[in-house]
Amino acid sequence: EEQRSLLLKTSSRFPPPQGVKLSYGTAGFRADASILESTVYRVGILAALRSLKTKSVIGLMITASHNKVSDNGVKIADPSGGMLTQNWEPFADALANASDPEDLVRLIIEFVKKENIHFEGACPAEVLLGRDTRPSGGSLLEAAKQGISSIVGAIALDMGVLTTPQLHWMVRARNKGMKASEVDYFEQLSSSFRCLMDLIPEGSKINEMGDKLIVDGANGVGGEKLAGLKNMLNSPVIDVRNSGKEGGVLNEGVGADYVQKEKVVPVGFGPSDVGLRCASLDGDADRLVYFLVLPKDNKIDLVDGDKILSLFALFVKEQLAILNTNGNEKINNYYHACLGVVQTAYANGASTDYLKKQGLEVLFTPTGVKYLHEKAAEFDIGIYFEANGHGTILFSEEFLCWLEARDNELSSMSKGSEQQKAASRLLAVSKLINQAVGDALSGLLLVEAILQHMGWSIHIWNALYQDLPSRQLKVKVVDRTAIVTANAETVVVKPPGLQEAINAEIAKYPQGRSFVRPSGTEDIIRVYAEATTQDAADSLGNSVARLVD
Ligand code: 16G
Ligand code: ZN
């Protein structure tokens, strides 16, 4: 009863916007910031309930990632640090769209009963809050707090301005009983990075032009945090531009999404950067791409998520091979670690070919981190990346336990042996790379460490394989749900006949590949086309776009 009246009272202060239907998509709720207060308040309630249900700490992040600065959004981090379980998404939708306080409270009571959630349990709900640098973040954070505290006993902990992956990392760490402040995060990243640097083989030295990295911070939170992290590393020379301090606008002509989609240099980069190693983060620093500035027309050579994936996969595979070769010693302690890589249909065909030629197992899922992450978690070591630069490496608990034990054993038997170093490197990777979600900062440090390990410039890395020319288009349609896909979005099953028509177009191009899918974040259909020349990719893309129009 007390709970009921508290909810009724607070929710009346957050009337929902009229005439908008929101849905908890691939990236949580996202919209123009001005209409989000009631949604964020309601997600606050949901987060507290999720915490009660799981008896764990839950995260609530306020961000609209790479979208424009006037947008904002909200999403939940589950106890593992991963995305909110998909079972709860319909409840999130129902909550966000409840028309009045009575309706809202009725929904909550029904759901609490169905999920068997107990309000008076021994541990109160606890929610960690984070937000990116958007100006609307402060008031939305207040709304979230109000939502959380309208569940009796619930605690909201404001962690301040963070990257999305930092918040996910903190939630995961807290639930593992570890320390979980920002300092702890920086400490873990920098110490595991230094560990990898200390294990770099003698003689592999990065060539002269390669010792400087220039990072585009998208005028967002990532640049600022990277500057902080930089102070704790003594090794690489990192220059941060577009840190948000120079007056640029978040995501405007900058950031990983812009660079990857437009294939041009971000603001603040130009001819004087030709040939240098450059990287770009997105607005909340969960995406990372590298690029090389070309001498003409602000064009770039993009080193995308697929290539980061390839670099990581090569390195991990090499370390596993060293760990499992016996040399002089007879190995009794052998663990056949299952290594898998996960991509989406947006992965450049050349990358998939390359990975398969390396003998790697490559799997595909639909777009969206939750799908890739889930698939990668099936392996001892699962590496996933979207072409757009979101990805990470997951290690199974079982494998990590074995690896720790093996590292200890090798250290006492043959410290400094190749095998022992390989074990230590893999352990360091598992600590450096964010196990909760793709993280541009930790990804960047791992790329830097591996390049140095290999003695590779960005040019050598980029030349692992040559991307097939591709084209992405968007088509505005009345109802994007009219298109339904299957097989990791590679075939259209509805409307009938469309896939046959697409196939007929594809057949006209050697090595042609094309697919369409409804966007999960915008009211559009996306078209992807790939072929052996840019003209062919453009023309295939255009013909397929006409089919869905
Ligand atoms: C979101 C997803 C990202 C995906 C993108 C696709 C998360 C955290 N983010 O940004 O993985 O690539 O949506 O957008 O899941 P689209 O559906 O509009 O193409
Ligand atoms: Zn992002």
CA distance 544 to 501: 8
Interface predicted TM-score (ipTM): 0.97
C-alpha 259 to ligand 1 mean position (Å): 16
Ligand nearest to the CA of 517: 1
Which among 26, 287, 516 is the best mutation to test ligand 1's pocket, defined by most ligand atoms within 8 Å of the CB?
26
Cβ–Cβ under 8 Å, residues 433 and 413: no
Cβ–Cβ under 8 Å, residues 48 and 154: yes
C-beta of 388 in contact with ligand 1 (< 6 A): yes
C-alpha 270 to ligand 2 mean position (Å): 24
C-beta of 25 in contact with ligand 1 (< 6 A): no
Closest listed residue to residue 208, CA positions, set 460, 449, 457, 446: 457
Task: Give me the torsion for CA of 82, 87, 89, 95, rounded to 10°.
Answer: -120
C-beta of 63 in contact with ligand 1 (< 6 A): no
- CA distances in angstroms from 41 to 45, 74, 145, 294, listed in the order given: 7, 10, 7, 47
What pLDDT does residue 327 have?
A: 57
Ligand 1 nearest atom to the CA of residue 388, by list position? 12
Q: Residue 382: enclosing H or E segment and its boundaries? A: strand 381-385
C-beta of 522 in contact with ligand 1 (< 6 A): yes
pLDDT one digit per residue (tens) for the chain, 549 residues: 788 999 999 999 999 999 899 999 888 999 999 999 999 999 999 999 999 999 999 999 999 999 999 999 999 999 999 999 999 999 999 999 999 999 999 999 999 999 999 887 778 999 999 999 999 999 999 999 999 999 999 999 999 999 999 999 999 999 999 999 999 999 999 999 999 999 998 876 655 446 789 999 999 999 999 988 998 887 668 999 999 888 899 999 999 999 999 999 999 999 999 989 999 999 999 999 999 999 999 999 999 999 999 999 999 999 999 998 765 555 566 678 899 999 999 999 999 999 999 999 999 999 999 999 999 999 999 999 999 999 999 999 999 999 999 999 988 988 888 999 999 999 999 999 999 999 999 999 999 999 999 999 999 999 999 999 999 999 999 889 999 999 999 999 999 999 999 999 999 999 999 999 999 888 899 999 999 999 999 999 999 999 998
Which among 78, 282, 369 is the best mutation to test ligand 1's pocket, defined by most ligand atoms within 8 Å of the CB?
369
C-alpha 522 to ligand 1 mean position (Å): 10
Ligand 1 nearest atom to the CA of residue 520, by list position? 17
Cβ–Cβ under 8 Å, residues 147 and 41: yes
Cβ–Cβ under 8 Å, residues 127 and 51: yes
C-alpha 522 to ligand 2 mean position (Å): 15
C-beta of 366 in contact with ligand 1 (< 6 A): no
* CA-closest residue to ligand 1 atom 5: 368
* CA-closest residue to ligand 1 atom 12: 368
C-alpha 186 to ligand 2 mean position (Å): 19
C-alpha 283 to ligand 2 mean position (Å): 6
C-beta of 520 in contact with ligand 1 (< 6 A): yes
C-beta of 324 in contact with ligand 1 (< 6 A): no
DSSP 398-413: HHHHHHHHHHHHHHHH
Query: What is the pTM assigned to this prediction?
Result: 0.95
C-alpha 230 to ligand 2 mean position (Å): 21
C-beta of 365 in contact with ligand 1 (< 6 A): no
C-beta of 369 in contact with ligand 1 (< 6 A): yes
Q: Where are the alpha helices (DSSP H) in 325-439?
A: 349-357, 369-376, 397-414, 418-432
Which among 287, 346, 521, 524 is the best mutation to test ligand 1's pocket, defined by most ligand atoms within 8 Å of the CB?
521
**Catalytic residue numbers?**
65
Task: Give me the torsion for CA of 134, 136, 142, 147, rounded to 10°.
Answer: -100
Cβ–Cβ under 8 Å, residues 446 and 194: no
Ligand 1 nearest atom to the CA of residue 26, by list position? 15
C-beta of 472 in contact with ligand 1 (< 6 A): no
Helix axes 101-114, 37-54, angle to 10 degrees: 20
